[in-house]
Amino acid sequence: GNSVTQMEGPVTLSEEAFLTINCTYTATGYPSLFWYVQYPGEGLQLLLKATKADDKGSNKGFEATYRKETTSFHLEKGSVQVSDSAVYFCALSALGGGADGLTFGKGTHLIIQP
Amino acid sequence: GAGVSQTPSNKVTEKGKYVELRCDPISGHTALYWYRQSLGQGPEFLIYFQGTGAADDSGLPNDRFFAVRPEGSVSTLKIQRTERGDSAVYLCASSLTAGRGQETQYFGPGTRLLVL
């Protein structure tokens, strides 16, 4: 079956630090990969996505590259801000088979201190 | 508002009772999804609709759970004989289509269900 593994949190960083949140996946076929973010008191929202190998998704200074050879989709940001404090979820959507439901990781709670 | 809306935002019920959770997708979105999120976990897929039909209900945990979308817009998730283990946040999402898994899903704020 499909699965997503992401690093356990919480991750605590100082403002302007470099961020990496690791995500690896197991899937049949060629999934699309997503990062969703949940800010305090808000619903899940898409941060970025990549639909094929070597694609790079980017948004709000965050980036992630779809690496088929390592089955990874690590999230990075060069300089984090306090406003980036949130829970981040890596997810995949398997193509084919009729199911478009997303498979999520457990989430990584990111805390940015001023 | 143009987003996905869910009602109620909170629901407290007693073990054994029946509950209905409602989802209003973004206008024009043909695909609708239900997920369940337990504390400290990521959302877990339950069921998805393409139009009025349930295209995949493989995530429903047992036959106490049922969902409908009779007119291809609003959906209702129904839980019979609720158990304490059903306590979770139930999330609804919609997307323009359900083509090839690449569509962005837009999530509602969720319904927090507590079964006493």
Mean pLDDT score across all residues of chain B: 92
Rounded average pLDDT over B30-49 = 93
Question: B100 falls in which pLDDT band (50, 70, 90)?
Answer: low
Residue type, position B85, single letter = G
| Choice between B97 and B19, residue whose per-residue pLDDT is larger | B19
**Cβ within 8 Å, pair A93-B101:** yes
Nearest C-alpha neighbor of A9 from the set A28, A22, A26 = A22
Is B33's CB within 8 Å of A101's CB?
Answer: yes
> Which regions of chain A are under pLDDT 50?
96-98
Q: Which residue of B has its CA nearest to A89?
A: B42
Question: What's residue A91's pLDDT?
Answer: 94
pLDDT at A96: 47
| Closest to B48 measured CA to CA, from A96, A28, A64, A102 | A102
Region B77-104: mean pLDDT is: 89
* Range A38-74 burial, b when 16+ CB lie within 10 A, else e: beeeebbebbbbbbeeeeebeeeebbbbbeeeebbbb
Provide the pLDDT for residue A39.
93
Chain A residues in contact with chain B using a Cβ-Cβ cutoff of 8 Å: 4, 31-32, 36, 42-46, 49, 51, 89, 91, 93-95, 98-107
Which of A50, A40, A110 has its CA nearest to residue A80?
A: A110
Task: Flag if B109 and A42 touch (Cβ within 8 Å).
Answer: yes
- Residue B54 is predicted with a pLDDT of 85
Mark yes or no for CB contact A101/B108 under 8 Å: no
pLDDT band at B56 (very low <50, low <70, confident <90, very high): confident
Quick one: which of A103, A107, A10, A112 has its CA closest to A61? A112
What percentage of chain B carries pLDDT values higher than 90? 77
CA A52, B36, A77, A68 dihedral sign is: negative
Residue among B41, B46, B59 whose CB faces A106 most closely: B41
Nearest CA in chain A to B9: A43
Token pair 């996505």 is found at A49
Question: Looking at residue A95, what is its pLDDT?
Answer: 59
